[in-house]
Structure 1
């Protein structure tokens, strides 16, 4: 039986140059069971096969979308007897939000070497942390999808705009993200949208099971179980522990956006109310509106038949934190 199971998605952005080095490294370490998929649709079979070798840890080498699909199979597929092993995420793909939250930065191969080092030293348990997952139900018959970071409202529109209009230009990821953000801000301030710019924000309703609901047009809608939100924003623990999912929504006014960014920069976000800024925690969140599409860990989900998108938090599951 292999101690480490490595799941690689060759189509992830970083793997185009990295994968030959990963294959060479795995060939020199027979204790690694390396499984490559060509499409996310193959991840179910990959996790079923990985379960057969009973690894001590599952390492995911791909972008956030690959991680989301793998987590869904690990915890909803029923492939393991009992609790699946901890998950480590290599810093790969375009955004790497999950990997960064788990302390994996820089060269993905160095992160893999770190995992092997911890396994060989018998120190895995010292680095295992617990995280809740977001369970997303879009109203269809398919089982809920599991992930850790969701973007919605105008944020989702700008993310899709970046993916469809900016990425094809071949610019570096950081430049692409900055350019999309600046164009989105420009369009929002001037009330423009469509054509060569992101579409105008649409009204939506966000409901929390205990905290009530709020309606409006939002420039930013984030739901996450990560410690870090977008742009390395951290939320204050002073807001309370009303649930495992953290929700941040900001009205489309420029003032609300800058008040949110100011609170994030000072580390006081969530300590006191800010006009136009909503920060809540909960175990069930509903999102509905005429265009209520959301992006969960890089994958697009839309409501079906006018039903709301329902988010619930799972029980804690184990991950490997690579930072010292």
Structure 2
């Protein structure tokens, strides 16, 4: 048996420089079983092997895409006979949204030390429940993909622009994200396609079960089960331990974006109605639109008029929160 199982993806951007330190740390700690995959497709085999050592805690070392793939395999693979261990996430990758939500920030080795410290005690006070987002295209027998943060509309186009155009420049993450934000806002101001800007958002139809339908062109579409995000403190309704997916939709309008941004910075988003800002909670969300991209924890999917993307929450999954 192992106290902690650590699953690392060496191809994650952050691991290119971090992994030698991780290996050295694990070599000193007999309570850690370290498994490295060469590609995301090997995560299923990795979890089958990890299940044999019966860890008290599973730690994921990779970007949001690695975490998404591991959560999907945990959900479908049943490698732990219906009783998977709690999951901890090291701060790694470009955005670290999932790690940030779980209080893992700063140096990943410091976070790993904290994980090991908690695993040697009663972890119950630090265990939190999070629902996952299950994404399918509605087809019979289709395999759902699991994640915790989905971006669409202009947000997805800006993320793709940052990934394809800005990250290759080798800038620090914070600078790259700031530049992507500026270019995304410029795209809204110009209002038409320009070669040097993110693609203009396409019309979408968003259906929230028992809530209604929203149609239009949107600058920002987010669906999440996270409670903390980088641009604000807590999501509206974050005090609820569980409770369906949260949808934030902002019209393709600079005033609407500014109203949402100011409210988020002041911690008042969701407390009162803002023109052009739509915030809902739902048990099923459908996204339809011609060749409209959405990104679930780093993985790209495409909605179409006749093939909607359908989102549903899963039962709660235990995670380890590093912050007190």
Q: TM-score range by the shorter chain?
A: over 0.9
Q: Structure 1 residues 277-286 or 78-87, which shifts more?
A: 78-87
CA distance in 1, matches of 2:236, 2:299: 28
User: Does structure 2 retain, via aligned residues, the 8 Å contact 1:241–1:281?
Assistant: no
CA distance in 2, matches of 1:289, 1:48: 38
CA distance in 2, matches of 1:52, 1:242: 31
Alpha-carbon offset, residue 236 of structure 1: 3.0
Give TM-score, length-normalised by structure 2: 0.95
Alpha-carbon offset, residue 282 of structure 1: 0.6
**Which residue in 2 is equivalent to 1:235?**
235
CA distance in 1, matches of 2:239, 2:48: 40
User: Does structure 1 retain, via aligned residues, the 8 Å contact 2:288–2:304?
Assistant: no
User: Does structure 2 retain, via aligned residues, the 8 Å contact 1:219–1:251?
Assistant: yes
The alignment yields a C-alpha RMSD, in angstroms, of: 1.9
Summarize deviations over 1:53-93 as a string: whole Å, max 9, x none: 11100000000000000011112211111221000000000
User: Does structure 2 retain, via aligned residues, the 8 Å contact 1:239–1:270?
Assistant: no
- Within 5 Å, give how 1:144-163 maps onto structure 2: 144-163=144-163
Summarize deviations over 1:281-302 as a string: whole Å, max 9, x none: 0111000101322101111112
Does the residue aligned with 1:109 lie in a helix, a strand or coil?
Answer: helix
Does the residue aligned with 1:66 lie in a helix, a strand or coil?
Answer: helix
User: Which runs of no fewer than 5 residues in structure 2 stay unpaired?
Assistant: none
Alpha-carbon offset, residue 310 of structure 1: 0.2
**Which residue in 2 is equivalent to 1:289?**
289
Does the residue aligned with 1:7 lie in a helix, a strand or coil?
Answer: strand
Alpha-carbon offset, residue 191 of structure 1: 1.1
Alpha-carbon offset, residue 38 of structure 1: 1.4
**Which residue in 2 is equivalent to 1:247?**
247
User: Does structure 2 retain, via aligned residues, the 8 Å contact 1:90–1:108?
Assistant: yes
Alpha-carbon offset, residue 24 of structure 1: 0.9
- Within 5 Å, give how 1:1-324 maps onto structure 2: 1-120=1-120, 122-139=121-138, 142-237=142-237, 243-303=243-303, 306-324=306-324
CA distance in 2, matches of 1:241, 1:103: 16
Q: Number of paired residues?
A: 323
User: Does structure 1 retain, via aligned residues, the 8 Å contact 2:290–2:303?
Assistant: no
User: Which runs of no fewer than 5 residues in structure 1 stay unpaired?
Assistant: none
Large movers: runs of 4+ above 2 Å: 138-142, 232-243, 303-306
Give TM-score, length-normalised by structure 1: 0.95
